[in-house]
Structure 1
Amino acid sequence: MKVARFYAPGDIRLEEAPEPRPGPGELKLRVRNCSTCGTDVKISRFGHHHIAPPRVIGHEIAGEVTELGEGVSDWAVGDRVQVIAAIPCGRCDDCRRGWQTICPNQESMGYHYDGGFAQYMVVPAKVLAVDGVHRIPDGVDFASASVTEPLACVLNGQEFARVGDGDTVVVVGAGPIGCLHVRLARSRGAAKVYLVELNRARLDMAAGVVDPDAAICGAESDAVDEVRKLTGGRGVDVVVTAAASGKAQEDAIQMAARRGRISFFGGLPKDAPIISCDSNLVHYRELTILGANGSSPEHNRRALDLIASGAVPVSDLITHRMPLSGVLDAIETVASGASIKVTIEP
């Protein structure tokens, strides 16, 4: 079979490999779709401290069960499934409290275990042990199901920020995550959703698909001023920074209305994690600033339900479909910003 293995920054190789066999408690999948994200770009350029090369990367996985490991009884050959990316241990204090997204023992597909940029893969027993495999409902194709994992992360962030009926929401960043935030906010009852992005071409592409109530190009106008104009000076109920930008986080504090909630959804570069915060705004406006880190198996299950029900459409966000042989082109397409969502079809 063919796999795409990471060896070092700038060194991802398409190789032949023997098909894996599932061990006790494991599943073997025929990978049908594994979508790409900005994390794959970062891995390709800089590596990752949790990846010991060589490693098959790819973590937004949907496929078909082809073989059961010893002791597996809840699945059958032919089942169509989606697989979590982040694997909580299920045993630590945080997991027992229901805080699986911040499990200190968390492992990940495509990092600690071979991922989905392959024709076949094995789902580790640890994934099955935390209910991390989900049946794809009828009517949902594999490509759409592969978008479950990023939507699950978005769901975690919006639940934490309490996005709900009547809210006015700003999403900063018009990549695939930003597009999912726009659509999920709408499905959760937001009255207005504004999209902010520095890159005009990227903004126009995203806005043409998800149709925000306003699309603001931060390179052409002051985004904070534009948000204030749109809200009569009040600001917005929720700001989601779906971009790895300290400036976006600083602006979010300025955009928030009294009692506003701010989700720092996109992490900052490791060499620039410090921002300037007007603490008086936080104090006098009674603002809430929240982090958002990944998703749990339950978030994945509910995200797949949102896709299946049509509450959060995702198929039109997939702008590029590429074979496994095009994985390097796929990663560069993501890096260029010329796509919304790129999926690999091994």
Structure 2
Amino acid sequence: MKAAVYHGKEDIRISDVDTPTIGDGEILIKVHACAVCGTDMRTYNHGHKSIEPGRVLGHEFCGEIVENASNNPLAIGERVVMYIVMPCGECRYCQKGIDNMCMNRTTLSYHHDGAFAEYVAIPEKAVANNHLYKVPDAIHSDAAALCEPLGCVLNAHGRLQVTSDDQVVVLGSGPIGVMHALVAKVHGAKNVMLLDPSKERLDIAERFGFDHYIQVSSDKAHHDAVMKATDGFGADVVIVACSVAAAQSDALELAGKQGRVEFFGGLPKDKPMTTLDGNLIHYKELMITGSFSEKRIDFERAQDLIMTEKIPALDIITHSLDIDNLTDAFGMMTSGESLKVCIHPNGVI
């Protein structure tokens, strides 16, 4: 079968490899769609300390069961999505119900071969713990593949607790930023503002009908625009949906008093430091949070929002490509000419 195999920084090869042979308790899935994640691009551009050479990448996927060597009642031919985090269930964090923080977790595409391939084998532990979820016939496989990243977004919103009184700024209009803005709308936010330096990206995101689209500028005219849009109060919630240190600093200035600020995107590993104005945090009484990955409850909530079409997942996907064009997808997403790109290892649907 064809698969995207990681060999190191800037070295992902589309190779012919053996189709996985599943063992007892495992399930084999024919991959219909696997979306490109920011982590995939960072792994390609910079490498990844947790991913060994030879690993097949890809973790935002939907596919069809073709073999089942387990007692799980899922049937051959059913389409499924997967909660990819496999926690130990025993450590301090698992006992507290925050399985995304498990000290011994393993994850598809990091510790097990992923879904940028014609077929992917689902480990026995994931099958036994019911990590596979059926997809309704009416939902496109591309849309279903976005359950994983949407679950990560919902993990952040679990602490932000957006309400109908809130005015929300999202810094970054890529696919994750758009998802954050859509979730804020689902939660009833009265004013959602999407900010980005790229006018092209903002133009793409106009299809979602947010309240304000504001271009970030070096002269900080976007600060005035946010203040005008919030009647001079600033935002109740500011979400940094990009891996830019300057955006983290900017967020504190855009937030209003007692604002909640979420640092969703991690910074580059070689430049992890940021400078924050401590007085803004102090005098505005700001609350700053971060988020990482997702819990099972977040993934299940994401499923519900996509399967009931409360989140228009298919509209987030702007391009579909064959697996041979995977690195082209990285370039498209980096340049801002696309939102989400889906890879179809068995041919474009």
TM-score normalised by the chain length of structure 2: 0.95
State the match for 2:302 in structure 1.
303
Q: 1:213 aligns with which of 211, 214, 218?
A: 211
State the match for 2:203 in structure 1.
204
Q: Is 1:58–2:66 an aligned residue pair?
A: no
Say how many residue pairs are matched: 344
**Relative to structure 1, is the Cα distance of residues 129 and 237 closer, same or farther in structure 2, using a 3 angstrom cutoff?**
farther
| C-alpha distance in 1 between matches for 2:217 and 2:258 | 28
Gaps of 5+ in 1: none
Amino acid at match of 1:124: P
| C-alpha distance in 2 between matches for 1:37 and 1:128 | 23
| C-alpha distance in 2 between matches for 1:130 and 1:49 | 27
SS for the counterpart of 2:44 is helix
Moved over 6 A (4+): none
SS for the counterpart of 1:258 is strand
**Relative to structure 1, is the Cα distance of residues 328 and 310 closer, same or farther in structure 2, using a 3 angstrom cutoff?**
same
State the match for 2:14 in structure 1.
14
Q: Provide the aligned C-alpha RMSD in A.
A: 1.5
Amino acid at match of 2:296: P
Q: CA deviation at 1:280?
A: 2.5
| C-alpha distance in 1 between matches for 2:257 and 2:243 | 25
Q: CA deviation at 1:75?
A: 1.6
Q: CA deviation at 1:321?
A: 0.5
| C-alpha distance in 2 between matches for 1:101 and 1:18 | 31
| C-alpha distance in 2 between matches for 1:131 and 1:257 | 43
State the match for 2:40 in structure 1.
40
State the match for 1:25 in structure 2.
25
What does 1:126-205 align with in structure 2 at a 5 Å threshold?
A: 126-205=125-204
**Aligned 8 A contact 1:38 1:335 in 2:** no
| C-alpha distance in 2 between matches for 1:156 and 1:253 | 21
State the match for 1:101 in structure 2.
100
| C-alpha distance in 1 between matches for 2:124 and 2:258 | 44
Indicate the percent of aligned positions where both proteins have the same amino acid: 40
Q: CA deviation at 1:180?
A: 0.7
**Aligned 8 A contact 1:60 1:84 in 2:** no
Q: CA deviation at 1:220?
A: 6.4
Amino acid at match of 2:16: E
Q: CA deviation at 1:121?
A: 0.9
Gaps of 5+ in 2: none
State the match for 2:114 in structure 1.
115
SS for the counterpart of 1:302 is helix
Q: CA deviation at 1:237?
A: 0.9
Amino acid at match of 2:217: A
Q: CA deviation at 1:129?
A: 4.2
| C-alpha distance in 1 between matches for 2:224 and 2:286 | 19
Q: CA deviation at 1:204?
A: 1.5
| C-alpha distance in 2 between matches for 1:44 and 1:147 | 20
Deviations 1:100-126 (A, max 9, x none): 121222222111111001111101123
What does 1:70-89 align with in structure 2 at a 5 Å threshold?
A: 71-89=70-88
Amino acid at match of 1:218: V
Deviations 1:31-74 (A, max 9, x none): 000000221111112221111111110110110111112x4233
| C-alpha distance in 1 between matches for 2:284 and 2:145 | 40
State the match for 1:229 in structure 2.
228
